[in-house]
Amino acid sequence: MPDLWMPGATRLDIGDHAPTDGGPAKAIGHITWDRNATAAKPVSLVPYENLVEYFGKNPAGKANAPHILWDPFTGRVTQFAPANSRTKSLADKPGGTRTNRAGSVVIQVEALFFPYCKVDGKVYAKLTDTPCKGWAQLQAWVHSWGVPNTWPMGRPTSFVPNRSASVWASKAGWYAHAHVPENDHQDPGSWPAFVTTQTTNPPAPAKPKVSVAHVVSAARKDPPASDGHTTHRAEVLVVERALKAEGLLAAEFVDGSYGTKTIAAYSRWQRSKAGGSYTGTDADGIPGAASLKRLAARHGFTVVA
C-alpha cells in the first residue's frame, strides 16, 4: 500500500477523517491566493508558517484544509490528512457530485502562492515562475496513489474556468480547482509540468567478435604445439564457453587453447542437430562459418571472416 503520509512532509493531522466514494483517482491543484496583488502593486508572500497555523489549528482553516500545503519556493510540505481521507477544500453542493469524495482518492494540494507575490525582492506572476522545489517528490507520491500524470481537462495555463461534469466523473488524473463541478474558483492559473523520470539503460555490451580464420588457425596450430599453447586466446575462449554451455566441453578445458578436447567438443557440436547435423570430414572439429554462426546465434557473439 502507498504511504498514507507523504515521506518527508511535516505531519499535522487535523482529524475529521472520512472515506472517499471510490472511482477515478484524482488530485486537485489549488493556490492559497490569500492576497490580491497586481503587476503594478506586488505584495509580499504570506509566510508559510502562517498558512500551516491557519489550516492546522484555526477552526475556519481546518474546515477548508487540503491534504497538502506545498511551498514551491523552499520545497516544504505539510500534510493535514491521510491520502485515503476526504478533505474539504472544494465546494460541495447538496444533491450533486460529492466533489471532495469523488474518487478512490481525491488528494488536494494547495501551493503557497498568489499572482504577483514578491519573494526576496523578486515578483512571480505565475506558479510556474517559481522554483517549484519539491514538485517531483510531490508528484511521485500522488502518482503512487493511482493518480495518472495527466490533466483530463488540460493543464491549467490561465485563470479561465473549464468545467465538465462528465469528464470529472469518468477520468482519473489531475484537475485544477477551476475544473471542478459545483465550484466557482479560477485557480491555480498554472501548474508545473509533470516530471518525467527517464531511466537511461546502459548500452548493451558489444557482442564479442570471433573470426572464422582465427579459430581455424588456432585449431590447426594449438594441438601440435606445447600443452596450453594459445594462438587467438580471446576468440577461442568465446567458442569454448559456448561449447561448455552446450554441455560439450568440461570447464577445465575452457582455457583459450584450441586443443584436442576443444576439437572433439566442436566435432560433437557439428554433428548435433543444432550445429547442422554434419557427418564425416564435415564434422572434424575445425570450425566452418555455418556451424560457427549457429553457435554464435545461441550464445551471443558475432562471427566475422
Which triple of cell numbers denotes residue 118?
514578491
Say what the pTM is: 0.66
Any domain includes 153? yes
Distances (CA, A) of 279 to 131, 239, 260, 273, 282: 73, 20, 18, 11, 6
Instruction: Using the 3D structure, point to which of 134, 159, 179 is the last residue of a domain.
Output: 179
Q: Is residue 188 part of a domain?
A: no
Number of domains in the chain: 2
Give the CATH number for residue 166: 3.40.80
- Asked if residue 165 and residue 33 are part of one domain, the reply reads yes
Instruction: Determine, yes or no, domain membership for 28.
Output: yes
**Same domain for 296 and 251:** yes
* Claim to verify: residue 31 and residue 106 sit in the same structural domain: yes
d(CA 280, CA 162) in angstroms, rounded, equals 81
CA distance readout (Å), 280 to 66, 107, 157: 82, 75, 78
Looking at the structure, do residues 130 and 242 belong to the same domain, yes or no?
no
Whether residue 2 lies inside any domain: the answer is no
Q: Which three cell numbers stand for residue 22?
A: 471510490
Q: Is residue 201 one of the residues assigned to a domain?
A: no
Under a CB-based contact definition with an 8 Å cutoff, are residues 112 and 69 in contact?
yes
**Is 53 found in the same domain as 104?**
yes
Same domain, 15 and 129: yes
Give Rg (Cα) of the chain.
34
Kindly report, residue by residue over 114-150, the tens digit of the pLDDT.
Answer: 999 999 999 999 999 999 999 999 999 999 999 999 9
Q: Are residues 57 and 149 in the same domain?
A: yes
Question: Do 147 and 66 sit in the same domain of this protein?
Answer: yes
Encode pLDDT of 198-246 as tens digits: 445 566 678 899 999 999 999 999 999 988 899 999 999 999 999 999 9
161 and 27 within one domain? yes
Give domain status of residue 1, yes or no.
no
Helix (H, G, I), strand (E, B) or coil at 195: coil
Boundaries of domain holding 283: 209-304
198 lies in a domain?
no
- pLDDT tens per residue, range 171-192: 999 999 999 999 999 999 999 9
Residue-wise burial string across 230-246, b where 16 or more C-beta atoms lie within 10 A, e elsewhere: bbbeebbbbbbbbbbeb
Whether the per-residue pLDDT at 197 is higher than 80: the answer is: no
* C-alpha neighbours within 13 Å on the C-beta side of residue 232: 18
Find how far residue 10's CA is from the centre of its chain: 25
Poorest-confidence range of 98-102, 189-193, 205-209, 254-258?
A: 205-209
Residues 119 and 248 in one domain: no
Residue 15 half-sphere exposure toward CB, CA atoms < 13 A: 2
- Positive or negative: CA dihedral 92, 95, 98, 103: negative
Nearest to 236 by CA among 223, 298, 224, 278: 223
The pLDDT assigned to 199 comes to 47
Does residue 196 lie within any of the structural domains? no
- Nearest 5°: the CA angle 127, 129, 135 is 60
Report the distance separating Cα 230 and Cα 221, nearest Å: 8
Residues 79 and 165 in one domain: yes
pLDDT at 228: 84
pLDDT tens string 259-302: 999 999 999 999 999 999 999 999 999 999 999 999 999 999 99
Q: What is the pLDDT of residue 85?
A: 97
